[in-house]
């Protein structure tokens, strides 16, 4: 059994278990949390190194050969996502050293964070549909718990809405799995990819029903209009470290599932891809319009998540095209965008935490003057904010350019116009935050707990280091974009063409 393939699941699982065993000792829990996340990051890098040229690692668990057993299958896309999950987990764990209050730690914050990372990495490394469902549930229950930990009124209310809608999404997924299993007698992704086209001619309605149910389920998880209304009320209520990891990872797991399942497992359905294009474009616009209307920093960022998801879904929807080159461009653009956005979004939420720490509030009306008082924070905000808006030479520019290029190649001028317009509005929104919180003079009534007593400075490095590291990543992707763009292209190639080959290897 190939150990490396199992590590993405084994590392967070062990960290969660050890964290639970270390329950009465918060310092040990914190250490385990940070080490576990870094371990996941290292695993991801090792996997990247193995899959960088396009190889696919797999391992069948329990000795059952494919397609009867559960296969773990990690290709370049999976390795990339696992690495990002480890990086975001590490950023959250380090931030949580300082930002999470004692009560939440006592309630088991660190093991829950590892549980979340477990669900996420499991989803990225599995090759079986039902296993994907199980990892989604692990991720979901951990996120429910993380969100409602501490049980303030706002968190309970936001959390309840989030819980109900995501449960509904899981049920749709489960029903679709029932259809698929009934037809194909197996839920292995590569097996389905090979056999579904033939099954589609026998039972076209069943395949379409399963495909549609999966589609809706993933759209709900990803946060696409009109299924995204659970996101803006819930993400802003979470503590900084939790919101950062949610914003970076959770919706992207939905997008990953969309790309993986509808891009390589289910037979192509032009109807679904067309719907994805339309809904993605609507999400782009409506998300950013929602953001422009807000005055709370975290609410603005939450709406921006929706808008950026729109870009990824549009790039995925370009699979509607008949030409393989365009399809490849679309998927590659989506992968590049996911990579860029995970880093930038987590970074922005962590910067938001720093703004609250130093400026005293998340409310833009009460903030001000941070450029003068803390110019380094202004710089740390500028990097991810300008990247989100797509300003060259930062990572967002290359990601947006890739999406626009793919849309042009597919002959979709409306999509190009909408994407460019949404980008402008994103820039406007980021400038508003800059103006209100950093540029202008502080308003008369500065929030009471602004600034720093010397005892507050003590653990502040834990808030700053992750932000700096993530900003450096964004700068790296921006200035040395070529390897990342090429990798995204290779990942798209592997995703779109490998399934038929994998079956021969597996058998």
Partner 1 sequence: MTLALAVCIAVLVGAGSYLLMGRNLPRLLFGIVLLGHAANLVIFTLGGGARAGAPIVPEGSDRLAAGHADPVSQALVLTAIVIGFAMLAFCAVLFERVQKATGDLDVDALRPGDEEGDGS
Cis check: omega of the bond before 86, within 30 degrees of 0:
no
Question: Looking only at residues 360 through 419 of this chain, which bind partner 1 when binding is defined by CB under 8 A?
Answer: 362
Min dist. Cβ of residue 383 to partner 1 (A):
21
Select 52 or 144, whichever has its Cβ closest to partner 1.
144
Candidate list 29, 60, 99, 302; residue touching partner 1; CB under 8 A: 99
Stretch that binds partner 1, among 77-85, 135-143, 188-196, 428-436 (CB under 8 A): 135-143
Question: Looking only at residues 237 through 256 of this chain, which bind partner 1 when binding is defined by CB under 8 A?
Answer: 237-240
Select 155 or 283, whichever has its Cβ closest to partner 1.
155
Question: Looking only at residues 274 through 303 of this chain, which bind partner 1 when binding is defined by CB under 8 A?
Answer: 296, 298
Nearest of 351, 266, 290, 345 to residue 312 by alpha carbon: 345
Q: Under the criterion CB under 8 A, does residue 458 sit at the interface with partner 1?
A: no
Stretch that binds partner 1, among 39-47, 166-174, 247-255, 410-418 (CB under 8 A): 166-174
Candidate list 21, 171, 198, 325; residue touching partner 1; CB under 8 A: 171
Task: Give Cβ neighbours of residue 292 (< 8 Å, ≥ 6 apart).
Answer: 425, 428, 429, 432
Min dist. Cβ of residue 409 to partner 1 (A):
40
| Angle in degrees, CA 56, 60, 64, rounded to 5 | 150
**CA dihedral for 339, 345, 348, 350, sign (positive or negative):** negative
Candidate list 30, 356, 366, 371; residue touching partner 1; CB under 8 A: 356
Q: Under the criterion CB under 8 A, does residue 175 sit at the interface with partner 1?
A: yes
Phi, psi torsion values for 463, nearest 5 degrees: -85, -30
Min dist. Cβ of residue 170 to partner 1 (A):
8
Q: Under the criterion CB under 8 A, does residue 236 sit at the interface with partner 1?
A: yes
Candidate list 26, 144, 405, 431; residue touching partner 1; CB under 8 A: 144
Q: Token pair for residue 76?
A: 């370049």
Report d(CA 434, CA 155) in Å as an integer. 27
Min dist. Cβ of residue 319 to partner 1 (A):
28
Q: Under the criterion CB under 8 A, does residue 198 sit at the interface with partner 1?
A: no
Select 167 or 379, whichever has its Cβ closest to partner 1.
167
Nearest of 299, 343, 318 to residue 419 by alpha carbon: 318
| Angle in degrees, CA 6, 244, 18, rounded to 5 | 40
Min dist. Cβ of residue 463 to partner 1 (A):
12
Task: Give Cβ neighbours of residue 147 (< 8 Å, ≥ 6 apart).
Answer: 155, 158, 159, 162, 234, 237, 238, 242, 246
Q: Under the criterion CB under 8 A, does residue 164 sit at the interface with partner 1?
A: yes
Q: Under the criterion CB under 8 A, does residue 137 sit at the interface with partner 1?
A: yes
- Element housing 433 (H / E): helix 413-433
Number of neighbouring beta carbons within 10 Å of residue 129: 25
Stretch that binds partner 1, among 97-105, 336-344, 434-442, 478-486 (CB under 8 A): 97-105
* DSSP one-letter code for 296: B
Q: How does DSSP assign 330-361, residue by residue?
A: HHHHHHHHHHHHHHHHHHHHHHHHHHHHHHS-
Q: Under the criterion CB under 8 A, does residue 154 sit at the interface with partner 1?
A: yes
Q: Under the criterion CB under 8 A, does residue 233 sit at the interface with partner 1?
A: yes
- CB of 312 within 8 A of CB of 402? no
- Cα–chain center distance at 501: 28
Q: Under the criterion CB under 8 A, does residue 181 sit at the interface with partner 1?
A: yes
**CA dihedral for 495, 498, 503, 507, sign (positive or negative):** negative
Candidate list 107, 157, 289, 468; residue touching partner 1; CB under 8 A: 157
Min dist. Cβ of residue 145 to partner 1 (A):
7
Q: Under the criterion CB under 8 A, does residue 476 sit at the interface with partner 1?
A: no
Report d(CA 467, CA 374) in Å as an integer. 15
Q: Under the criterion CB under 8 A, does residue 153 sit at the interface with partner 1?
A: yes
Stretch that binds partner 1, among 178-186, 251-259, 339-347, 486-494 (CB under 8 A): 178-186
3-state secondary structure labels for all residues of 57-95: EEEEHHHCCCCCCCEEEECHHHHHHHHHHHHHHHHHHHH
Residues that bind partner 1 (CB under 8 A): 99-101, 130, 133-134, 137, 140-141, 144-145, 148, 151-161, 163-164, 167-168, 170-171, 174-175, 177-179, 181-183, 185, 187, 232-233, 236-240, 296, 298, 352-353, 356, 362
């Amino acid at each position: 059994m190939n150990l490396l393939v199992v590590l993405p699941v084994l590392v967070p699982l062990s960290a969660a278990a050890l964290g639970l065993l270390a329950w009465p000792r918060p310092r040990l829990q914190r250490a385990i949390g940070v080490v576990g996340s870094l371990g996941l990051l290292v695993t991801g890098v090792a996997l990247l190194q193995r899959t960088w040229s396009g190889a696919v690692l797999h391992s069948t668990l329990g000795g059952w050969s494919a397609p009867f057993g559960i296969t773990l299958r990690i290709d370049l896309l999976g390795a990339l996502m696992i690495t990002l999950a480890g990086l975001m987990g590490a950023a959250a764990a380090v931030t949580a050293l300082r930002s999470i209050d004692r009560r939440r730690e006592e309630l088991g914050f660190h093991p829950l964070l590892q549980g979340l990372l477990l669900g996420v990495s499991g989803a990225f490394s599995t090759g079986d549909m039902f296993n994907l469902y199980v990892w989604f549930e692990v991720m979901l229950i951990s996120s429910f718990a993380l969100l409602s930990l501490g049980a303030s009124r706002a968190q309970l209310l936001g959390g309840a809405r989030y819980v109900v809608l995501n449960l509904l999404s899981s049920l749709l997924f489960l029903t679709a799995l029932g259809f698929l299993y009934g037809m194909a007698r197996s839920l292995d992704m590569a097996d389905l990819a090979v056999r579904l086209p033939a099954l589609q001619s026998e039972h076209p309605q069943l395949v379409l029903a399963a495909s549609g149910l999966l589609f809706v389920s993933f759209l709900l998880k990803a946060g696409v209009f009109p299924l995204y209304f659970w996101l803006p009320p819930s993400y802003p209520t979470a503590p900084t470290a939790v919101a950062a990891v949610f914003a970076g990872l959770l919706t992207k797991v939905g997008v990953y599932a969309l790309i993986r399942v509808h891009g390589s497992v289910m037979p192509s359905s032009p109807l679904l891809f067309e719907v994805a294009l339309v809904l993605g474009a609507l999400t782009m616009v409506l998300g950013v319009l929602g953001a422009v209307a807000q005055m709370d920093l975290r609410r603005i960022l939450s709406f921006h998540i929706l808008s950026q998801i729109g870009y990824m879904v549009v790039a995925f929807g370009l699979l509607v095209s008949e030409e393989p080159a365009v399809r490849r461009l679309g998927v590659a653009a989506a992968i590049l965008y996911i990579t860029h956005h995970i880093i930038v979004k987590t970074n922005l939420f962590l910067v938001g935490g720093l703004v609250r720490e130093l400026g005293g509030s998340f409310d833009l009306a009460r903030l001000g003057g941070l450029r003068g008082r803390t110019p380094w924070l202004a710089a740390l905000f500028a990097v991810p904010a300008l990247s989100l808006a797509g300003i060259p030479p930062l990572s967002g520019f290359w990601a947006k350019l890739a999406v626009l290029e793919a849309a042009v190649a597919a002959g979709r001028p409306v999509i190009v116009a909408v994407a460019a317009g949404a980008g402008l509005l994103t820039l406007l929104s980021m400038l508003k935050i800059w103006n209100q919180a950093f540029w202008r003079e502080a308003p008369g009534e500065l929030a009471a707990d602004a600034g720093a007593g010397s005892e507050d400075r003590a653990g502040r490095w834990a808030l700053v280091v992750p932000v700096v590291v993530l900003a450096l990543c964004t700068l790296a992707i921006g200035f040395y974009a070529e390897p990342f763009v090429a990798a995204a292209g290779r990942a798209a190639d592997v995703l779109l063409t490998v399934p038929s080959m994998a079956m021969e290897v597996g058998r």
